[in-house]
Amino acid sequence: MKQQLLAHRPVVVAHRGASVEAPENTLAAFRRALELGAPAMELDVHRTADGELVAIHDATVDRTTNGTGAVAEMTLEALRQLDAGAWKGKAFAGERIPTLAEVCRLARGRASLVVEIKAAGIADQVVATLEAEGVLDESFVISFSQETARRVKELRPDTTVGLLSGKAEDLPLVAELGLDAFCPHHAAATEEMARELHAANRLLSVWTVNDEEGMRRMAALGADLITSDNPALALKVLRRE
Ligand code: G3P
Ligand code: CA
């Protein structure tokens, strides 16, 4: 992650793109986040049966497309047939599940990516793709999987890597694994946690904060990155005077 991204904290991260307005993890949602001026955008990564990395949250296509089945058991071609936008509204009908590379190309030079690795065993390929697309230096790679986070750090020690967790008690794992950031659910974040991380030159990145009061609270306790489905609101609330 580039240092200049952190010059104005907290950094607003558009969660799955501008997902309150547009279908999550689609180019429409990422384009909208860019239009709003979000400095960073989060996406979730899975791998298809034929080895392609794609942006989708769930392990199955059921919730966010008109199809059914596991991403890991479908080819990219089969996934591309699916409508990933209509569920969110008629205006988004025809949106497709994008590849990680497509999201990288859209974001490159415009916003940083917060890349959440969802599937096991794909860390090497994700890193290789981010590098090939020229966005690795600007990216923040995160995972709930300790093994995945550790592997990314091992592969590229200069890459900013964070551990996602729902529990405050997982904080020590960040130091144990040699990572750069702790990414707790906002309800688990505390001022003391921020202090401890900052003292060790590490970052606090919280998710998913969609109300104004929560955004102000996270900023006040020292969160460095605030992830929101509603980047328009977060940018307004957290705008520096
Ligand atoms: O940015 C972290 C957050 O996305 C983790 O939870 O379920 O939305 O992927 P989830
Ligand atoms: Ca995520």
What are the boundaries of each domain within the chain? 3-238
My answer on whether omega of the bond before 10 falls inside 30° of 0, hence cis, is yes
Quick one: average pLDDT of 130-135? 98
pTM higher than the cut 0.95: yes
Containing 12, the helix (H) or strand (E) segment is strand 11-14
Residue 2 has pLDDT above 50, yes or no: yes
Ligand nearest 228 Cα, by number?
A: 1
Look at residues 230, 235, 223 and name the one whose alpha carbon lies nearest to residue 6: 223
| 185 phi, psi to nearest 5 deg | -60, 145
Per cent of the chain over pLDDT 70 is: 99
Ligand nearest 43 Cα, by number?
A: 2
| Whether 186 is catalytic | no
Measured between alpha carbons, how far is 23 from 96 in angstroms, rounded to an integer? 10
What pLDDT is stored for residue 176 in this prediction?
98
Residue 231 has pLDDT above 90, yes or no: yes
Q: What is the pLDDT of residues 6-22, one digit of tens each?
A: 988 999 999 999 999 99
Q: Is 118 left (phi over 0), alpha (psi -120 to 50) or beta?
A: alpha
Residue of the nearest CA to atom 2 in ligand 1? 207
Residue 44 CA to ligand 1 center (angstroms) comes to 8
Question: Residue type for 234, please?
Answer: A
The beta strand positions in 144-224, using DSSP E, are 160-165, 181-184, 203-206
Atom of ligand 1 nearest to the CA of 183: 2
Residues 6+ apart with CB under 8 A from 52: 75, 76, 99
Quick one: average pLDDT of 90-112? 98
Residue 241 has pLDDT above 70, yes or no: no
Residue 191 has pLDDT above 70, yes or no: yes
Measured between alpha carbons, how far is 11 from 27 in angstroms, rounded to an integer? 21
Q: Is 25 left (phi over 0), alpha (psi -120 to 50) or beta?
A: left
**Residue 240: pLDDT band by 50, 70, 90 thresholds?**
low
CB 119 within 8 A of CB 72: yes
Residue 207 CA to ligand 1 center (angstroms) comes to 7
Which member of 8, 46, 57, 198 is catalytic? 57
The total number of residues shown for the chain amounts to 241
Containing 175, the helix (H) or strand (E) segment is helix 171-176
| Whether 185 is catalytic | no
| Domain covering 3-238 assigned CATH 3.20.20.190 in the classification | yes
- Residues with Cβ within 6 A of ligand 1? 15, 42, 44, 57, 116, 164, 207-208, 227
What interhelical angle do 27-36 and 100-107 show, nearest 10?
Answer: 20
Measured between alpha carbons, how far is 56 from 49 in angstroms, rounded to an integer? 14
Mean of the per-residue pLDDT values of the chain: 97
What pLDDT is stored for residue 145 in this prediction?
98
DSSP code, position 169: G
Which member of 8, 15, 46, 198 is catalytic? 15
Atom of ligand 1 nearest to the CA of 227: 1
Measured between alpha carbons, how far is 176 from 9 in angstroms, rounded to an integer? 26
Q: Which residues of 43-60 are buried (b: 16+ CB within 10 A; e: fewer)?
A: bbbbbbeeebbbbbbbeb
Residue 77 CA to ligand 1 center (angstroms) comes to 26
Q: What is the pLDDT of residues 43-55, one digit of tens each?
A: 999 999 999 999 9
Measured between alpha carbons, how far is 216 from 36 in angstroms, rounded to an integer? 19
Quick one: average pLDDT of 174-198? 98
Residue of the nearest CA to atom 7 in ligand 1? 57
Atom of ligand 1 nearest to the CA of 44: 9
**Residue 167: pLDDT band by 50, 70, 90 thresholds?**
very high
